[in-house]
Structure 1
Amino acid sequence: MSASTVRSLSARAVVRDRAMTSSSRASALRGVRRARARAPLAQPSASLASDKVVVIGANGKTGRRCVEYLRSSTDAKEIVACTRSGTYEGGAADDRVKARAANVASASVAELANEFAGAKAVIFAASQSQSGGTASQVDRDGVITCARACLRAGVERFVIVSSGAVSKPASPVYIFLNLFGGIMRNKILGEDAVRALYFDRPGQFYTVVRPGGLSEDPARGVSALELNQGDEMSGRISREDVAAICIESISREDAANATFECYNWDAAKPLGEVGLSNMMKATNDGDGVQKTGSERRGSSWDELFAGLRADAPGEKQQGEGFTL
Structure 2
Amino acid sequence: MKVLVAGANGHTGRLVIRYLKEKGHEPLALIRDEKQADELKELGATPVTGDLEKDVTPAVKQAEAVIFAAGSGSKTGADKTIAVDQEGAKRLVDAAKTENIQHFVMLSSYNADDPNQGKGQGSMEIYYEAKRKADEHLKQSGLSYTIVRPGALLHEKKTGKIEAAAHIPDDRNIEISREDVAVVLVESLTEPNVKNKTFDLIKGDTPVEEALRKL
CA separation of 1:118/1:179 partners in 2, compared to 1, >3 Å: closer, same or farther? closer
Aligned mates of 1:177, 1:240 — CA distance in 2: 28
CA contact (8 A) 2:9 2:40 kept: no
Partners of 2:158 and 2:122 in 1: how far apart?
Answer: 27
- Looking at structure 1, the residues matched to 38 and 164 of structure 2 have their Cα atoms a distance apart, in angstroms, of 31
Unpaired segments of 5 or more residues in structure 1?
Answer: 1-50, 199-203, 266-296, 309-324
In the alignment, structure 1 residue 156 sits paired with structure 2 residue 102: yes
Match of 1:143 in 2: 89
| CA distance in structure 1 between the aligned counterparts of 2:120 and 2:154, rounded to whole angstroms | 17
Aligned residue-pair number: 209
RMSD: 2.3
What SS is found at the alignment partner of 2:207?
Answer: coil
Evaluate the alpha carbon distance shift between residue 135 and residue 181 of structure 1 in structure 2; reply closer, same or farther with a 3 A threshold.
Answer: farther
The equivalent residue for 2:150 is: 211
- Letter of the 2:129 counterpart: R
Report whether the alignment pairs 1:128 with 2:78: no
| Counterpart residue number, 1:70 | 20
Contact kept? 2:162, 2:208, Cα under 8 Å: no
SS at match of 1:137: helix
Conserved? CA contact 2:30–2:59, under 8 Å: no
Q: CA deviation at 1:181?
A: 7.1
Report what 1:34 is aligned to: none
Percent identity of equivalent pairs = 26
Task: Give the drift of 1:180.
Answer: 4.2
Per the alignment, residue 220 of structure 1 pairs with: 159
- Relative to structure 1, the CA distance from residue 257 to residue 75 in structure 2 (aligned partners, 3 Å threshold; closer, same or farther) is same
Write the deviation string for residues 113-167 of structure 1: whole angstroms up to 9, x where unpaired: 2222242210001111339x61111111111111111111111111110100212
d(CA) in 2 for partners of 1:65, 1:181: 27
Shift of 1:307: 3.7
Aligned to 2:212: 305
Kept in 2, the 8 Å contact 1:104–1:146? The answer is yes
Partner of 1:241: 180
Task: Encode CA deviations 1:245-294: one digit per residue, 9 max, x unaligned.
Answer: 000110011111110011112xxxxxxxxxxxxxxxxxxxxxxxxxxxxx
Cα offset, 1:103, TM superposition: 1.6
What stretches of structure 2 of length at least 5 have no aligned partner? none
Contact kept in structure 2, 1:210 and 1:261, CA below 8 Å: yes
Shift of 1:300: 5.3
The residue identity in structure 2 corresponding to 1:304 is: A
**2:89–2:134 CA contact under 8 A, matched in 1:** yes
Query: How much has 1:75 moved relative to structure 2?
Result: 1.2
The whole-number CA distance in structure 2 between the counterparts of 1:186 and 1:158 is: 18
**Residues 83, 176 of structure 1: alpha-carbon distance in 2 compared, 3 angstrom cutoff:** farther
Shift of 1:64: 1.2
* Pick aligned residue for 2:131 from 183, 187, 208: 187
**Distance 1:228-1:176 versus aligned 2 partners, 3 A rule:** farther
Return closer, same or farther for 1:218/1:104 CA change in 2, 3 Å cut-off: same
